[in-house]
């Protein structure tokens, strides 16, 4: 009798173990399917974003992660280097006034959505700072950068380069 109970218990254990394995396999399939669906949705959103940007005149390309298959939209921005200009003979009052106007200009660029980030460099070199313009063309970035009162006064000069970055990724 004890032998039959042992065999019965063993059969129940094996049966339960098989059911657990089947359930684990089903769960894995659901998770895999869900991950594929999520990736498909992300990639579709990337396609829509790329189409919207192209419609506005931006240059973009898709970067596809070889490991995950995830698509990241890369957008062309324009990085403006603000360099020491030839006219730095302003007195303190003029320099302070130009600095306030310079900051107001950059603030307007942010509010209007033309600039995403800017700031000075921490050394006293010839390159004084940068601004990254979020505009479709070099000509627009150049025009906006040259509207800066510091540039108009000759205290700064602009050097602009196209720059590619993942659309929507924050700085860390």
- Each residue of 30-48: pLDDT tens digit? 556 676 777 778 878 888 9
CB neighbour burial string for 39-48, b if at least 16 within 10 angstroms, e if fewer: eeeebeebee
Q: In the prediction, which pLDDT does 49 show?
A: 86
More confident residue, 121 or 46: 121
- Each residue of 61-93: pLDDT tens digit? 999 889 888 888 999 999 999 999 999 999 999
Q: Are 83 and 127 in contact (CB under 8 A)?
A: yes
Map out the domains of the chain as residue ranges: 2-55, 72-166
Considering just the CA atoms, what is the radius of gyration of the chain in Å?
Answer: 29
Q: In the prediction, which pLDDT does 31 show?
A: 54
Instruction: Work out the pLDDT band at 14, boundaries 50, 70, 90.
Output: low
Q: In the prediction, which pLDDT does 34 show?
A: 73
User: How big is the chain, counted in residues?
Assistant: 172
Does domain 72-166 fall under CATH 3.40.50.720? My reply is no
Q: Is the pLDDT of residue 28 over 80?
A: no
Instruction: Work out the pLDDT band at 18, boundaries 50, 70, 90.
Output: confident
Instruction: Work out the pLDDT band at 170, boundaries 50, 70, 90.
Output: confident
Determine what percent of the chain is predicted with pLDDT higher than 70: 84
CA-CA distances (angstroms) from residue 33 to 30, 40, 72, 116, 143? Answer: 5, 10, 21, 37, 49
Instruction: Work out the pLDDT band at 138, boundaries 50, 70, 90.
Output: very high
Q: In the prediction, which pLDDT does 24 show?
A: 75
Q: Could you tell me the pTM of the whole model?
A: 0.74
What values do phi and psi take at 90, rounded to 5? -65, 145
């Amino acid at each position: 009798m004890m032998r039959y109970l042992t065999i019965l218990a063993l059969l129940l254990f094996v049966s339960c173990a098989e059911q657990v394995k089947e359930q684990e396999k089903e769960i894995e399939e659901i998770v895999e399917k869900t991950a594929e669906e999520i990736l498909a949705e992300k990639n579709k959103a990337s396609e829509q974003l790329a189409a919207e940007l192209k419609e506005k005149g931006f240059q973009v390309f898709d970067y596809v992660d070889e490991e995950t298959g995830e698509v990241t939209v890369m957008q062309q921005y324009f990085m403006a280097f603000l360099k020491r200009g030839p006219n730095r003979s302003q007195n303190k009052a003029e320099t302070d006034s130009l600095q306030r106007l310079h900051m107001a200009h950059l603030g307007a660029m942010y509010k209007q959505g033309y600039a995403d980030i800017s700031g000075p460099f921490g050394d006293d070199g010839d390159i004084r700072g940068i601004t990254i313009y979020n505009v479709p063309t070099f000509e627009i970035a150049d025009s906006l950068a040259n509207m800066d009162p510091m540039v108009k006064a000759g205290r700064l000069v602009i050097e602009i380069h196209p720059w590619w970055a993942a659309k929507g990724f924050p700085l860390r």
